[in-house]
Amino acid sequence: MNFNIGGPCFINYSSSSSSGSSEFDEWLLNENEAIERDEQIALNLLANNNRLAQQLIQEENHVSHHGSIHGHAIHRDRENAHRNLFNDYFADNPLYGEREFNRRFRMSKRLFLHIVEAVKTHDNYFNQRRAASGRMGLSTLQKVTAAFRILAYGMPADATDEYIKIGESTAIECLKRFCRAMIEIFSEWYFRSPTAEDVARLLSIGQQRGFPGMLGSLDCMHWKWKNCPTAWAGQFAGRSGSPSIILEAVADYDLWI
């Protein structure tokens, strides 16, 4: 028996190699049996997968997609996430103080909690509810904090999942409802026309800050930039030859234009 390695395999039998022929026949039989076993295993696995797929399809057709689904692929530990958030910022002795809170939430804790209570009262969505799986859902603090992180930092919706443990679609829903609630709650007061008292106060603030007689929009006014860095002077120099910046609006300390 001869084998030609590297090309087509030619097997030659001769009368003098009967022992070699029987050994090859036995080896070939074993190989065929092994191949058949492997094929049978693969077919069994495929059949099992098909049965599982059919079960999943049947279960999917009978599942109501309102709320959380028990056995979801990502198990988010919402309870511990709320506990960590509360201990970090809202406990009596929080891990992070008022200074860190102001920097990370872009407002005082007192104002944040005022907004939380207003939004929760206005829209029942922000109240903590029990999910379809029987677990308690996201807390009010988690939902509002997710919306704040997206607004304050331009954070992608799915990035809030790492700390707050909230899914991307839920974070987007929180953001939409939060913005709608803020407009419906506060627009009547903050979008109102200024009263005589408001005008006097705004003019007084403008006088103190170097904008005498100016109220509201400056309509893209050029303002001389006295302390412009030397390296930037050429970029901000206009027809006057001195650096200036464009001011579009003047607001009070509450950012009310």
The confidence score (pLDDT) of residue 40 equals 66
- How confident is the prediction for the chain on average, in pLDDT? 78
Which three-class secondary structure state does DSSP give residue 203? helix
Taking a C-beta distance cutoff of 8 angstroms, is the pair 71, 60 a contact?
no
Distances (CA, A) of 202 to 103, 195, 205, 253: 26, 10, 5, 10
Q: What pLDDT digit, counting tens, does each position of 13-67 carry? A: 444 445 556 776 776 677 677 667 766 665 665 555 555 555 555 554 554 444 4
Percent of the chain at pLDDT exceeding 70: 72
The confidence score (pLDDT) of residue 119 equals 94
Q: What pLDDT digit, counting tens, does each position of 152-181 carry? A: 888 888 898 889 989 999 999 999 999 999
CA dist 197 and 159 (Å) reads 44
Annotate 56-87 with b (16+ C-beta within 10 A) or e (fewer): eeeeeeeeeeeebeeeeeeebebeebbeebee
